[in-house]
Amino acid sequence: MNPLVTQNIDDLHERAGSMNVIHMHGELLKARCVACNRLTLWRRDISAADACPACGRANALRPHIVWFGEMPLYLKEIFAALNEADMFVSIGTSGSVYPAAGFVAEARALGIRTFEINLERSDNADEFDETRYGRASEAVPDWVAEILMSS
């Protein structure tokens, strides 16, 4: 199953039933150990005294969030998925933050049909094969119905 790549750090996609979600900017409800790199579900504040549940080291946990200036996560997996995709859909993003804003150009270079669904034109709207605008809660189901009818 192709992944759903999101810049969101909340778990709304999972709570809505989405499968194979890639959180390129991390996840608010997880802690990452800088010593062993393991992820742990974490729903409270992190303190220096907290030990990593995996390796036991204290003062090694940090939020599993990409801060400004850090590289987004899972880019290798995202570009691998782009290479296997036959459709690229960008939903609800400004198209101004890279590397995510560059995914459409990568998709086009691979010959993949590209769609933008957004509240308003994104900064890179001209790079998409098709665009449509409206609330995601309405525009996405309409688009999906059209895709299903045409396939």
Query: Which amino acids are annotated catalytic?
Result: 25
Q: Calculate the alpha carbon distances from 143 to 14, 15, 20, 119, 131 in Å.
A: 21, 22, 21, 14, 10
Tokens 């691998």 belong to residue? 80
Q: Which is nearer to Zn ion, 54 or 101 (CB)?
A: 54
Q: Which of 12, 19, 36, 105 binds Zn ion (CB under 5 A)?
A: 36
The verdict on 58 binding Zn ion (CB under 5 A) reads no
The verdict on 22 binding Zn ion (CB under 5 A) reads no
Could you say which DSSP state residue 70 is in? S
Q: Which of 4, 46, 54, 75 binds Zn ion (CB under 5 A)?
A: 54
The verdict on 46 binding Zn ion (CB under 5 A) reads no
Q: Which is nearer to Zn ion, 9 or 33 (CB)?
A: 33
Q: Which of 9, 31, 33, 89 binds Zn ion (CB under 5 A)?
A: 33
- Long-range contacts formed by 127-136: CB under 8 A, 24+ apart: 128/90, 128/104, 136/91, 136/92
